[in-house]
Amino acid sequence: MRKENVFLAVLLFLLFIHGSCAGKTERGQVFAQSRWELADGTIFVYTLFDYQGNLGGEGMDGNRKWIFLAGGCFWGTEKYFSLIPGVTKTEVGYANGKTEFPTYEDVCWNNTGHAETVLVEYDPDRLELSSLLELYYEVIDPTSLNRQGNDTGTQYRTGIYYVDETDRETIDSSISRLRERTRSPVVIEVKPLENYYAAEEYHQNYLDKNPGGYCHISFDKFEQAANLTW
């Protein structure tokens, strides 16, 4: 084989390898999407499922919106949100930290700044954001700083992270109403989403895979969520 052909073959092979690994991180995690462009800048959302459309509007299955909710251990919060009528998808991950592609161990032990977070995709024609937030308050202690249930640390902080700027007014109004009925200061973090990385596959739908697994949310809350009607 001529040298030029050998060189071309090697080059094509390297390009193939690069393309086939484009959705993988150095830690072996595979993601369906990598970056979303928003009007006010770029945020990074790495998710295990494919979503076509923009984060705040029309998606491949019709009208869908995203909100990112941190409420302590994400095993129970994902289970809870997944049962709410009008929620179309959930996923657990790590949000608004300073470390790229963190592992669970990084988030727990290496001061990454990430919060355990649930990506909640919902149909706004069936479920209003204000109603979803009221349900969120049902399963957290909004006055507890960096602690929910038996879990302590900044990764267990409460937070509402939005990707649609028009949601901010709804969130602020909801937090104001919550403050009116809460004696202690509300410490829920409210910020635009800066970044989100899906957690490892074994964390996804954890309580479905491990029905006896730890959860800081009482199981009657799951039943209440599943029986909601709009």
Would you say 32 and 47 are in contact if contact means Cβ atoms under 8 Å apart? yes
d(C-alpha 58, C-alpha 40), whole Å: 18
Is residue 73 part of the annotated active site? The answer reads yes
Greatest Cα-to-Cα distance within the chain, rounded to the nearest angstrom: 80
Which is nearest to 134 in space by CA: 183, 181, 194, 73? Answer: 181
| Secondary structure element (H or E) that encloses residue 92, with its range | strand 87-95
Catalytic residue among 21, 73, 108, 215: 73
Concatenate the DSSP letters of all residues of 11-52 into one string: HHHHHHHHHHTTTB-TTS-B-SEEEEEETTEEEEEEESS---
d(C-alpha 64, C-alpha 54), whole Å: 9
Which is nearest to 117 in space by CA: 97, 145, 101? Answer: 97
Q: Which residues are catalytic?
A: 73
